[in-house]
Amino acid sequence: MKIKRDDIGAFRASVENCISLARDLIEAEGTRLTREAYLNDDPAGLIGTGVVYVFFEKKQGVLFVGETSMALRAREKKYPSPYTDEAWWPRWTEVLLIPNSVRFERELFERLLVVAYAPKYLNGKRTMPRQPLFS
């Protein structure tokens, strides 16, 4: 099958729609916790057999997007978290969590949210501004 220029445009539109839907889903269905609630073991941070999460900084946007196979706070308690040593960790004010036990879905959802939110940090490094797809 030979791909035509029109196919690339349709693919781009479909991916952009998925990115938008991922952001809408986590904002509508996710659990939002303040830093204080999260650090004081709010039950929402302790449930789940996998979660996708977004850390926010007050008035500055998204700092970090990630996923784990455990409840986020439970993971942090079981394993030393590399995040607590990152430059962004002291600055976050809110976290948005959405449980998902399917690894592939979590990983895909995480990647869509990385594009949707363009977090300031990714894998400990500052991120670049988002570029148009296939430009």
Averaged pLDDT score across all residues of the chain: 84
Which tokens go with 76?
Answer: 């942090």
The structure's pTM equals 0.83
Per-residue pLDDT tens over the stretch 54-84: 999 987 799 999 998 887 777 776 666 667 7
Of 116, 4, 135, 98, the closest CA to residue 127 belongs to 116
Per-residue pLDDT tens over the stretch 19-68: 999 999 999 999 999 999 888 877 766 777 889 999 999 877 999 999 98
The C-alpha atoms of residue 71 and residue 79 are separated, in whole angstroms, by 12
pLDDT at residue 20, rounded to an integer: 95
pLDDT at residue 130, rounded to an integer: 58
Collapse the DSSP code of 17 into the 3-class scheme (helix H, G, I; strand E, B; otherwise coil) and give the result. Answer: helix
Query: What are the backbone dihedrals phi and psi of residue 25, each rounded to the nearest 5 degrees, phi first?
Result: -65, -50
Listing DSSP states for 46-111 in one string gives T--SSEEEEEEETTTEEEEEEEESS-HHHHHHHS--GGGGSTTGGG--EEEEEE---HHHHHHHHH
CATH architecture of 5-126: 3-Layer(aba) Sandwich (3.40)
Tell me which residue has tokens 């988002």: 130
pLDDT at residue 29, rounded to an integer: 95
Per domain, the residue ranges of the chain are 5-126
